[in-house]
Amino acid sequence: MGEKYLLEMKGICKSFPGVKALSNVNLQLRAGEVHALLGENGAGKSTLIKVLGGIYHAEEGEIWIEGQKVNIDGVVSARNAGVSIVHQELVLVPYMTVAENIFLGREAGSKFNIKRRQMTEEAQKLLDAYEMHIDADTLVEKLTIAQRQMVEIVKAISFNARILVMDEPTSSISDKEVGFLFETIRTLTKKGVGIIYISHKMSELEEICDRVTVMRDGESVGTRVVKETSKDELIAMMVGRELTNYYTRDFQNPGEVILKGEHIADGKMVKDASFELRRGEIIGFAGLVGAGRSETMKAVFGLTPDMKGSVYVEGQQVHIKSPVDALKYGIALVPESRKEEGLYLVQDVQFNSTIEVLGQFIRNFRVDYKKEEEITQKYIDMMATKTPSQQQIIRNLSGGNQQKVMIGRWLATDPKILILDEPTRGVDVGAKAEIYAIMNELVKKGMSIIMISSEMPEIINMSDRVYVMNDGRVTGCLSHEDVTQEKIMQLAAK
């Protein structure tokens, strides 16, 4: 066998009715390494992890841990084999203390006499060992998302896990908290724990991971040492082709000012934001989480009751009191969190595509079903959305395709001004590139786009100008020629 691995998954196959989810997947994890698992949505990462965690049972293939063949046929046997998973959705009980959560289901003492103090002490010992400054006696609901994640990790470790899987651990925490998470990861690897790290963010790979295995269409495409590979190579492995033009943007001379906001404030997070948007232009809004970017746009869009400041559309002052008003002036907003603010998850693609434009096909108790289908198809084609049919329930589409349906829904209102809030969050690289290309097409045709984004590369490459916000104020505006990551950070942290 040559080298002895901590974990070896060989030739794993797993099918669901009608789909081959995994075919002949191989993965090797060394002790003390952080091993990234990379792939587009639907590439089979989650399925592989579920096989490892005992949630799914693979039809073929072997799992070896420390040179021993193991049979994982359930969550308990996975745990006994030393495998622990920190899920993307955190599964702590909010109204219990940290200690109670860590020992949930295996409380100290007897069934009717739980020894709380002993539990709390043991939990505290664990927390301190990993230098997490968390009190074991606090209620989980009082913790930040990042702290909850730490508790999840400690909980996983407390099962004496030697193999730890982290599923997109940084998707909902701030940069500072990411630093802290990485420190914890380094402490763990020093103790010989092997970590499988799932993430979409390339920058994190370089910072924390040793090796990376790329998956595509249910197969493992290859494993690389992070230091010896490049971002381009990894992306090419993920999408199966070279992405020559990741960012498509033909800069042009923008036209007249089409939207202007002056001294916008919402009495809470937005204190003083002014900006100008010209025809045929993309402006970016950069800043840290909580800087008030989304809130500024919500105020413009009529979603904030006590909005202060003035908004001008094509030179005329307008009073937008509700999204209906905003649509009337040709403004559309694709919100930040698809699932909470955008999608009707139990409904199909058609319903989700046409809810803004019912007036085009429902009149006088008559529904023009053909028209409805045409509208839906038009935006499926325009956005290159991949869906088996218009009747597909939207929950079953991938994040990228959901986002495309969302953007299509708002394009159907034929807006002059399109506000995109984090348009590529949770979207795989292939779909990202497609969304950028569509944005480019739209502005070429004279639409104007405001893009709020926390991803620096996309802000820098796509925007004509970048407004930076900090603590509810616009602290600066950088033109495309001037903009750099450093300049944005200076303004964002001013």
In the three-class reduction of DSSP (H, G, I as helix; E, B as strand; rest coil), residue 262 is classed as strand
- Kindly state whether residue 345 participates in binding other proteins, applying the rule CB under 8 A: yes
Q: How many Cβ atoms are within 10 Å of 348's Cβ, its own excluded?
A: 18
Q: Which member of 355, 414, 482, 484 binds other proteins (CB under 8 A)?
A: 355
Report the alpha-carbon distance of residue 328 to residue 347 in Å, rounded.
26
Alpha-carbon dihedral sign for residues 193, 199, 204, 210: positive
Locate 364 and state its tokens.
Answer: 């006088």
- Kindly state whether residue 343 participates in binding other proteins, applying the rule CB under 8 A: yes
Instruction: Decide if 408 contacts 401 (C-beta within 8 A).
Output: no
Question: Given the rule CB under 8 A, which of 159-167, 214-222, 257-265, 317-325 is the region that contacts other proteins?
Answer: 317-325
- Supply the minimum distance, in Å, between the C-beta of residue 427 and other proteins: 18
Q: Which member of 218, 335, 415, 472 binds other proteins (CB under 8 A)?
A: 335
- Kindly state whether residue 112 participates in binding other proteins, applying the rule CB under 8 A: no
Question: Given the rule CB under 8 A, which of 142-150, 211-219, 222-230, 327-335 is the region that contacts other proteins?
Answer: 327-335
Report the alpha-carbon distance of residue 162 to residue 81 in Å, rounded.
9
Judged by CB, which is closer to other proteins: 110, or 389?
389
Q: Which member of 91, 145, 289, 367 binds other proteins (CB under 8 A)?
A: 367
- Kindly state whether residue 306 participates in binding other proteins, applying the rule CB under 8 A: no
Where do the DSSP E strands lie in 314-430? 316-318, 331-334, 362-363, 366-367, 417-421
Distinct helix (H) and strand (E) counts, the chain: 16, 24
Looking at 211-285, list the stretches that DSSP marks H as alpha helix, in order from N- to C-terminal side.
231-239
Judged by CB, which is closer to other proteins: 18, or 315?
18
Task: Give how far Cα 186 sits from Cα of 4, 34, 82, 357, 492, Å.
Answer: 22, 9, 19, 52, 29
- Kindly state whether residue 344 participates in binding other proteins, applying the rule CB under 8 A: yes
Judged by CB, which is closer to other proteins: 17, or 105?
17
Question: Given the rule CB under 8 A, which of 31-39, 205-213, 248-256, 318-326 is the region that contacts other proteins?
Answer: 318-326
- Supply the minimum distance, in Å, between the C-beta of residue 351 and other proteins: 7
Question: Given the rule CB under 8 A, which of 34-42, 212-220, 289-297, 323-331 is the region that contacts other proteins?
Answer: 323-331
- Kindly state whether residue 366 participates in binding other proteins, applying the rule CB under 8 A: yes
Judged by CB, which is closer to other proteins: 216, or 404?
404
Q: Which member of 154, 273, 333, 468 binds other proteins (CB under 8 A)?
A: 333
Report the alpha-carbon distance of residue 421 to residue 410 in Å, rounded.
13
Task: DSSP for 128-193, please give it.
Answer: HHTT----TTSBGGGS-HHHHHHHHHHHHHTTT-SEEEEESTTTTS-HHHHHHHHHHHHHHHHTT-
DSSP state of 390: T
Judged by CB, which is closer to other proteins: 326, or 407?
326
Closest CA to 115 of 124, 103, 127, 128: 103
Locate 205 and state its tokens.
Answer: 């790979």
Question: Given the rule CB under 8 A, which of 201-209, 219-227, 338-346, 483-491 is the region that contacts other proteins?
Answer: 338-346
- Kindly state whether residue 386 participates in binding other proteins, applying the rule CB under 8 A: no
Count of residues interacting with other proteins (CB under 8 A): 30
- Kindly state whether residue 108 participates in binding other proteins, applying the rule CB under 8 A: no
- Supply the minimum distance, in Å, between the C-beta of residue 368 and other proteins: 10
- Kindly state whether residue 329 participates in binding other proteins, applying the rule CB under 8 A: no
- Kindly state whether residue 323 participates in binding other proteins, applying the rule CB under 8 A: yes
- Kindly state whether residue 341 participates in binding other proteins, applying the rule CB under 8 A: yes
Locate 168 and state its tokens.
Answer: 């997109």
Judged by CB, which is closer to other proteins: 315, or 359?
359
C-alpha triplet 436, 438, 442: angle, nearest 5°: 120
Q: Which member of 11, 77, 191, 369 binds other proteins (CB under 8 A)?
A: 369
Q: Which residue has the tokens 């508790």?
A: 151
- Which residues of the chain form contacts with other proteins (CB under 8 A)? 303, 322-324, 326-327, 333, 335, 340-348, 351, 355-356, 358-359, 362, 365-367, 369, 372, 393, 396
